[in-house]
Structure 1
């Protein structure tokens, strides 16, 4: 993994406005939800492997999180990562989760995204929009502080239990490591696909597939154990090996991957959250 840049001694005075950050965060969640066809995930075709989610629910959840992302960006604007900021953001995030649950009638549409994209919103409030590495570094620095006021339910969450059982990084490890699957895999795959002339939908699908191929996805592990994770990573690598989703054999492999995951009742929800993070970072750097 490439080393993250050192944090600056002073906050940059050309950081992005909180309102722009929040708008782009919500837009990234909506873009991820609408992207089709995603393997076993909610998209324009249907609910994938999720019985309690559909596209309308995902869109309502994303829009309900706009005040949360705005509050996070405002809290982080003009300050440095600190224990106090970490705990302030945690409180905002818990309030955002409650708003999400109200909007979805109790369905967990974006709990992981609140953590991942929320931290990146905080990092974005400290740097210029095209400084993706610095944004991720600041977000990682915040994530490395413990939340002393976290409720017991946080340690008992599906993601936390799966991370401990299978000894994988999970969403918290991903954040503390500087979001390598968004920064070093998602963005690079997106850039490569665009350079090859792919349309935007196929470029984003290729980025998702690249993330699935590498990520120890706790959503897959929770729903289907190692069999589901192995199937997802093996299938994603096969798609990539055979030209990606824009190639005929790659598209056929994508459909086969989806069928296998649906049979296991498993979906790569962690990869979806990191694709949203990728799209968020990409949208910010394109502002410049």
Structure 2
């Protein structure tokens, strides 16, 4: 019998969150994204940088969980999580020399961690819904800046990361989690989950670089993978390789989809392990 993993809840949630980020970046092959084969459509990112960025967020996720413990969704909680999130972004930029690796993930995972810590023993759907309640409160201390994401939202009328969170992460609930629950092949289920999000999400990262034409081409490419049985079939995998080539030619990256996959991986691990962790001593930070 293995040793029982001993964590306080905050450390446990942070460990699962960091591991989800590492699992997402290591998933291979991913169209346009950094993975174990190449850097996708990113000349400024590497696998080692993405891993270092993910690990640097650990203490801030711990702090978020501690701040949200047994708290109800409120403006005060929203602002506290926002303050910690901005500190996490500063650390991320320090680690990556100013490159945005996980800003969207800090937002989504921070809200989900806060939701779990505020009320334990909840379903994934309840966690996502409560995270949406937190997100809908205003953060009076957040400085309004014109970012790539806000430009895209204004230009194309899409929701972006903020809208996804405020709606209770519908793409995670409708597409990511069902795919992750579907097959015992971990790599296939994760890639199919990514395809499902890419097939439906108005990804602001893709829209920023390629506009609506690129967005629709990528969506159709992801739908083709799923129509052909997913990445576990010969036809589905060939469709994935075609999508890889398409995304490379368009030089776009589905970064928003990747963030939602990581958040979904976090929730799925909670489903499997429960808030107290499993008993095999296997909940440790990824290297």
| Same structural fold, with TM-score higher than 0.5 when normalized by the shorter chain | yes
8 Å contact from structure 1 (residues 26, 63) kept in 2: yes
Q: SS state of the match for residue 273, structure 2?
A: coil
Q: CA RMSD in A?
A: 1.1
* Distance of aligned partners of 1:71 and 1:232 in 2 relative to their CA distance in 1, 3 Å threshold: same
Tell me if the contact between 2:74 and 2:137 (Cα under 8 Å) persists in the aligned partners.
yes
- What's the offset of the Cα at 1:60? 0.4
Deviation sequence 1:70-99 (CA, Å, 0-9, x none): 111111111101011111111110000000
Output one character per residue of 1:41-65: Cα deviation in whole Å (capped at 9) or x when no partner: 0000111001111110100000000
Distance 1:128 1:257 in 2: 40
Matches of 1:58 and 1:184, distance apart in 2: 27
> How far, CA to CA, are the matches of 2:250 and 2:187 in structure 1?
26
Query: Alignment partner of 2:130: what SS?
Result: helix
In 1: Cα distance, 2:187 partner to 2:167 partner: 28
Q: Determine the structure 2 residue equivalent to 1:82.
A: 74
TM-score, with length taken from structure 2: 0.91
Q: Is 1:214 the equivalent of 2:206?
A: no
After superposition, residues 9-158 of structure 1 pair within 5 angstroms as 17-128=9-120, 131-153=123-145, 156-158=146-148
Q: Following the alignment from structure 2 to structure 1, what is the Cα–Cα distance between the partners of residues 157 and 179? A: 27
Q: Which residue of 2 aligns with 1:184?
A: 174
* Aligned residue-pair number: 267
SS in 2 for 1:53: coil
Cα distance in 1 for partners of 2:85, 2:120 equals 23
Contiguous gaps of at least 5 residues in structure 2: 1-7, 275-287
| Contact 1:126–1:135, Cα closer than 8 Å, also in 2 | no
Answer yes or no: is the 8 Å Cα contact 1:130–1:284 preserved in 2.
Answer: no
What stretches of structure 1 move > 4 A for 4+ residues in a row? none
Shift of 1:228: 1.6
Taking CA–CA contacts closer than 8 Å with sequence separation of 6 or more, which of the two structures ends up with the larger relative contact order? Answer: 2
The TM-score normalised by the length of structure 1 is 0.90
Give the drift of 1:129.
5.0
User: Gapped runs of 5+ residues in structure 1?
Assistant: 1-15
